[in-house]
Chains A and B, each alone.
Chain A
Amino acid sequence: QVQLVESGGGVVQPGRSLRLSCAASGFTFSNSAMHWVRQAPGKGLEWMAVISYDGSNKYYADSVKGRFTISRDISKNTLYLQMNSLRPEDTAVYYCARDITIFGVAGHFDNWGQGTLVTVS
């Protein structure tokens, strides 16, 4: 079955960087667009970024554009989120999610990881 496992979260000081990983298994990773979605403590879901099946197209929410970079390594079946210039308001649980489309535009998320907590303080 589809499995998505995030890692890399932790406590980081404002202005520093962190890289999250999402290990995918149980499906053909190269056939799916992938997203990052975050949830601040006690708040709702916020979409962050998407990468197409082959990594050629990437889109970001305005709140992280220019600071966060989404990427994928097909050979390792792994999705990444490089987060730079972190701010206290970036504190959240970060989820990776699989899109049902290959380009990740106007699709939906049919599988989610368990999330990894990032605390910026």
Chain B
Amino acid sequence: QSVLTQPPSVSGAPGQRVTISCTGSNSNIGAGYDVHWYQQLPGTAPKLLIYGNNNRPSGVPDRISGSKSGTSGSLTITGLQADDEADYYCQSYDNSLSGEVFGTGTKVTVL
């Protein structure tokens, strides 16, 4: 089972802002490990969206941002677009499990 908790779903109208939370503990995010985010479009492999809490790889628009505070991270999408409909996963490292961990995943729906 995942040790990082995300809301199962979030939704918004085109142009609106949505935020996805990723709640961990003192053995992962709270221990200082970075939070990373991936987008998975239906039927495709995950794609890196945010790394190192708030960094965007080349090609990811600046309307997508990330942050981290305490034992949680968050992903914000502003100016929501139809092609943002996807599943989103956070990822970090857990020192009690000695391995990478993923969030439970959040489905974003554009109304």
Q: Is the interface of B mostly helix, strand, loop or mixed?
A: strand
- Choose the segment among A11-19, A71-79, A108-116 that binds chain B (4+ C-beta atoms closer than 8 Å): A108-116
The docked-state distance in angstroms from the alpha carbon of A61 to that of B94 is 11
Partner of A47, one of B33, B34, B51, B102: B102
Q: Is B36 in contact with A108, judged by CB distance below 8 angstroms?
A: yes
Residue in A35, A37, A45, A113 whose Cβ sees the most chain B Cβ within 10 Å: A45
Number of contacts between A and B (CB, 8 Å)?
62
A110: which B residues are within 8 A, CB to CB?
A: 48, 51, 57
Q: Is A35 in contact with B46, judged by CB distance below 8 angstroms?
A: no
The docked-state distance in angstroms from the alpha carbon of A106 to that of B46 is 18
A101 to chain B, nearest CB (A): 11
- Asked whether A95 and B46 contact (CB < 8 A) given A35-B100, A50-B100, A106-B93, the answer is yes
Q: Is A108 in contact with B102, judged by CB distance below 8 angstroms?
A: no
The docked-state distance in angstroms from the alpha carbon of A105 to that of B103 is 17
The docked-state distance in angstroms from the alpha carbon of A19 to that of B98 is 24
The docked-state distance in angstroms from the alpha carbon of A16 to that of B92 is 32
A106: which B residues are within 8 A, CB to CB?
A: 33-34, 92-93, 100
- Chain A: interface residue count, which band? 20 to 34
- Asked whether A44 and B102 contact (CB < 8 A) given A106-B34, A108-B34, A108-B91, the answer is yes
Please provide the chain B residues from 34 to 84 with a CB less than 8 Å away from any CB of chain A in the complex: 34, 36, 38, 40, 44-48, 51-52, 57
A59: which B residues are within 8 A, CB to CB?
A: 98-99
B38: which A residues are within 8 A, CB to CB?
A: 45, 109
Q: Is A112 in contact with B99, judged by CB distance below 8 angstroms?
A: no
The docked-state distance in angstroms from the alpha carbon of A60 to that of B52 is 23
The residue in chain A whose Cβ has the minimal distance to the Cβ of B46 is: A112
The docked-state distance in angstroms from the alpha carbon of A95 to that of B47 is 12
Please provide the chain A residues from 79 to 103 with a CB less than 8 Å away from any CB of chain B in the complex: 95, 100
Question: What residues make up the interface of B, taking CB atoms closer than 8 Å to A?
Answer: 2, 33-34, 36, 38, 40, 44-48, 51-52, 57, 89, 91-93, 97-105
Question: What residues make up the interface of A, taking CB atoms closer than 8 Å to B?
Answer: 35, 37, 44-47, 50, 59-62, 95, 100, 105-106, 108-115
